[in-house]
Amino acid sequence: MGTVSKFEIAKMIDHSLLHPTMDDQTLREGIELARKYDVASVCIKPYAVKMAADMLKGSDVMVCTVIGFPHGNSRVDVKVYETERAIDDGAVEIDMVVNTGKVLSEDWDYVTDEIGAIVAVTKKHGAALKVIFENDFLTEEKHKIKLCEICSELKVEFVKTSTGYGFVKQPDGSYGYRGATHDDLVLMRKHSDPSVEVKAAGGVRTLEDTLKVRELGVTRIGATATETIILAVDGKKAGESPEGY
């Protein structure tokens, strides 16, 4: 794959272990897989952060977890508490979902104060913050642009497209999501400060997908198909990956 190494691809990946149906054994197997391939991080359910931290001791794989997940509707003080507990348990990266209702209300003071409250905790403890926009719920570019500007002003480490669980009701009554789209990634990279990295989550399932978003300036992806992506660098195939983001 040209000059792109397995190591470079692996260090783009937050191995996602967030699906509600994942039991403890599945989580352990996922953590072991992440350690085997030396990915950037394991993004795991909040209750399992301590387990992941214990299992990943001595490795370069970081522990990441989610806050206000997946809908972002918790009170600010609850999100702050979640963040503090997660860091206490061993998380060094925090993926927080913004309050979509407040974004759509254009209550930018609230949104800024909320993200700022989480930033204060992560900066204090040397943890990285990724702010999840949930772009499927944001139909107007101005909302995404404003979020990029707020995140840049607050000096968060990453802006992130989606949770992978932001399902939108379709005309036929079914629910679906697009996840990380080309246009959204271009917009987020363009309107975020150069110091703010971009994470693509939702729909990045192959090495080809990974390379495409990398070309757009994405430095991290959320993936369940980690083994498939990494083995593809050497032209190998893996078994089916579990459904999810």
DSSP states of 198-211: EEEESS--SHHHHH
pLDDT-derived band of residue 2, with 50, 70 and 90 as boundaries? low
Q: φ and ψ at 223, to 5 degrees?
A: -145, 145
Q: Work out the percent of the chain whose per-residue pLDDT is above 90.
A: 86
pTM for the predicted model, two decimal places: 0.94
Arithmetic mean of pLDDT, 131-160: 97
pLDDT-derived band of residue 177, with 50, 70 and 90 as boundaries? confident
pLDDT-derived band of residue 226, with 50, 70 and 90 as boundaries? very high
Looking at the domain 6-232, which fold is it?
TIM Barrel (3.20.20)
Query: Could you report the per-residue pLDDT of 131-145, keeping only the tens digit for each?
Result: 999 999 999 999 999
Query: Could you report the per-residue pLDDT of 47-77, keeping only the tens digit for each?
Result: 999 999 999 999 999 999 999 999 999 999 9
Q: Where are the alpha helices (DSSP H) in 66-206?
A: 76-89, 100-104, 108-125, 141-153, 182-191
Per-residue tokens: 84:
């503090």
What separation in angstroms does the CA of 81 have from each of 23, 46, 184? 25, 12, 30
Q: Which residues are catalytic?
A: 95, 160, 199
- Over the Cα atoms of the chain, what is R_g? 17
Query: Could you report the per-residue pLDDT of 32-41, keeping only the tens digit for each?
Result: 999 999 999 9
Q: How far apart are CA 245 and CA 225, in angstroms?
A: 9
Q: Is cis: bond before 70, omega within 30 of 0?
A: yes
Q: What is the pLDDT, as a whole number, of residue 239?
A: 54
Q: How far apart are CA 192 and CA 230, in angstroms?
A: 28
